[in-house]
């Protein structure tokens, strides 16, 4: 008998500071419309000195555990492309901060912005084998580019935690999936660089190529025809990219697709900025929180990670899903961020790269439940606030 698997709960976290992109535009002499309209971005979350992917990921996951407890969670999968260690999974300190049992495997997934989808699919496989298991999937990233670079306005920071179970309350993961992989140097971060290397034009081309190829594979593997998909969520390195993806898909299949079907999905990403692995699932959270009744709706999901791996899959929203949502919590979280000016933002940016050869205590800055406490003996240390 097949097992119905999907997202039972979903919670969001972000960094404690925010920079208005109008202020960045004024600082660097850019027309603010280039950011607000051209990129589709209004703000970006900026981590404090005691925040990183571990603290954000643990904060999002704690909300899930506070509601559901840890019973049956034997796996924690953390997806990120801004890892804090070349060997140890960032999920291990998350596991410790959350007080999860020792009988819980922890693995880090990496393939640019795509890897949270790989983690979700892996979770579904584990539950198909044993429907009593519950898997905690966390996507957490800090997007950081060089100051004064073309990509600077697309920075951000955020995390999403999902509890993946049998008979989920929010959305069922359908079996069909479409995949496309190509070796493309559109975006990467060398081991010796704290910031990414980007070929913006090539990245857009690879993204748009990925959606049509993944779509074709989705249909070849039994995926629903376009007229049976009610809503769409596309990966959003900047929210205007979702519009480009939607138009390319419509052109490819030869139908008119209402761009209003994706407008509501940009609500959180416009304010958080790029969160890499978490971006697609922030779009899903925005859709669930902001759309009219979605009971029974099929949502097409396009996941893209530079380098490049793409996947198109679909979810079916479950009746009564609204009782499991956290829209008010997410709005309160975003409103609680501390606005910073450009000078303070640049200070935080400059201080983010720490040399592990030197012990350091980070100042208490964030109001979240967990903090990065500093470096001791070349190892990162974390604590509860």
**pLDDT tens, position by position, 107-124:** 999 999 999 999 999 999
Whole-number pLDDT of residue 260: 83
Is the pTM of the predicted complex or chain greater than 0.85?
yes
Residue-wise pLDDT for 24-67, tens only, equals 999 999 999 999 999 999 999 999 999 999 999 999 999 999 99
Cα 365 to Cα 338: distance, rounded to the nearest angstrom: 10
- Provide the 8-state DSSP code for 23: H
Residue 264 has pLDDT above 90, yes or no: yes
Ramachandran region, residue 225 (left: φ > 0; alpha: ψ -120 to 50; beta: rest):
beta
* pLDDT surpassing 80 at residue 282: yes
Q: Looking at 51, 81, 108, 311, which residue is catalytic? A: 81
Q: How many CB atoms lie within 10 A of CB 121?
A: 18
Burial letters for 136-173: b for 16+ Cβ neighbours within 10 Å, e otherwise?
A: bbbbbbbbbbeeeeebbbbbbbbbbbbbbbbebbbbbb
Mean pLDDT of 259-285: 95
Structural contact between residues 36 and 42, judged by C-beta atoms closer than 8 angstroms: yes
Q: What angle do CA 371, 23, 306 make, to 5 degrees?
A: 65
77-100 confidence digits (pLDDT tens): 999 999 999 999 999 999 999 999
Active site residue 113: yes
CB 385 within 8 A of CB 16: no
CATH architecture of 5-171+324-384: 3-Layer(aba) Sandwich (3.40)
Q: Which of 8, 51, 95, 113 is an active site residue? A: 113
Q: Where are the domains of the chain?
A: 5-171+324-384, 175-321
Whole-angstrom Cα Rg for the chain: 20
- State how beta strands 171-181 and 43-46 pair: unpaired
Structure tokens at 111: 């393939």
Sequence-separated contacts (24+) of 20-27 with Cβ below 8 Å: 20/339, 21/153, 23/341, 23/342, 24/152, 24/153, 24/342, 24/345, 25/153, 27/342
Q: Are 14 and 158 in contact (CB under 8 A)?
A: yes
Is it the case that residue 2 has pLDDT exceeding 90?
no
From the candidates 8, 235, 246, 349, give the one annotated as an active-site residue: 235
Q: Are strands 231-234 and 298-305 parallel, antiparallel or unpaired?
A: parallel
pLDDT digits (tens, 9 = 90+) for 233-252: 999 999 999 999 999 999 99
pLDDT above 60 for 1: no
Whether cis (ω within 30° of 0) applies to the bond prior to 308 is yes
At residue 287, what are phi and psi to the nearest 5 degrees? -65, -50
What sign results for the dihedral spanned by CA atoms 268, 367, 275, 293? negative
**Whether pLDDT at 310 is above 70:** yes
Q: What is the pLDDT of residues 170-229, one digit of tens each?
A: 999 999 999 999 999 999 888 888 888 888 889 999 999 999 999 999 999 999 999 999
Q: What percent of the chain has pLDDT over 70?
A: 100
CATH number at 175-321: 3.40.47.10
Mean pLDDT score across all residues of the chain: 95
Q: What is the sign of the dihedral through the CA atoms of 164, 168, 171 and 176?
A: positive
Query: In the predicted model, what is the mean pLDDT of residues 301-326?
Result: 97
Whole-angstrom distance, CA of residue 364 vs CA of residue 353: 17
Residue 235 annotated to the active site:
yes
Mean pLDDT of 158-179: 98
Task: Provide mean pLDDT across the span 324-337.
Answer: 97
Task: Report CA-CA distances (Å) from 211 to 22, 229, 236.
Answer: 31, 15, 13
Q: Quick one: what percent of the chain has pLDDT higher than 90?
A: 91
């Amino acid at each position: 008998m097949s097992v119905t698997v999907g997202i039972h709960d979903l919670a969001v976290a972000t960094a404690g500071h925010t920079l208005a992109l109008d202020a960045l535009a004024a600082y660097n002499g850019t027309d603010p419309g280039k950011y607000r309209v051209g990129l589709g971005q209004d703000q970006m979350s900026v981590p404090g000195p005691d925040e990183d992917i571990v603290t954000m990921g643990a904060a999002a996951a704690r909300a899930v555990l506070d509601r559901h407890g840890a019973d049956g969670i034997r796996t924690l999968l953390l997806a990120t492309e801004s890892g804090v260690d070349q060997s140890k999974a960032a999920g291990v300190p998350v596991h410790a901060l959350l007080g999860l049992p020792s009988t819980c495997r922890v693995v880090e997934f990496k393939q640019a912005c795509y890897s949270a989808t790989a983690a979700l699919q892996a979770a579904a496989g584990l539950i198909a084998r044993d429907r009593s298991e519950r898997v905690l999937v966390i996507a957490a990233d800090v997007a950081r580019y060089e100051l004064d670079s073309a990509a600077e306005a697309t920075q951000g920071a955020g995390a999403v935690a999902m509890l993946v179970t049998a008979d989920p309350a929010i959305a069922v993961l359908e079996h069909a999936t479409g995949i496309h992989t190509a070796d493309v140097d559109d975006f990467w971060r060398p081991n010796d660089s704290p910031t990414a290397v980007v070929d913006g034009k090539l990245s857009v081309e690879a993204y748009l190529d990925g959606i049509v190829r993944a779509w074709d594979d989705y249909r070849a593997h039994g995926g629903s025809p376009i007229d049976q998909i009610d809503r769409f969520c596309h990966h959003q390195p900047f929210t205007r990219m979702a519009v480009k993806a939607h138009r390319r898909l419509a052109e490819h299949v030869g139908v008119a697709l209402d761009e209003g079907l994706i407008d509501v999905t940009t609500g959180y990403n416009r304010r958080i900025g790029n969160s890499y692995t978490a971006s697609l699932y922030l779009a899903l959270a925005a859709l669930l929180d902001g759309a009219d009744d979605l009971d029974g709706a099929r949502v097409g999901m396009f996941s893209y990670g530079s380098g490049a791996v793409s996947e198109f899959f679909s979810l079916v929203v479950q009746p009564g899903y609204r009782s499991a949502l956290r829209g008010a919590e997410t709005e309160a979280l975003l409103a609680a961020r501390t606005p910073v000016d450009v000078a303070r933002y640049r200070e935080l940016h400059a201080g983010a790269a720490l040399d592990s050869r030197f012990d350091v205590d980070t100042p208490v800055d964030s109001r979240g439940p967990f903090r990065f406490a500093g470096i001791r003996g070349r190892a990162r240390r974390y604590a509860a606030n």
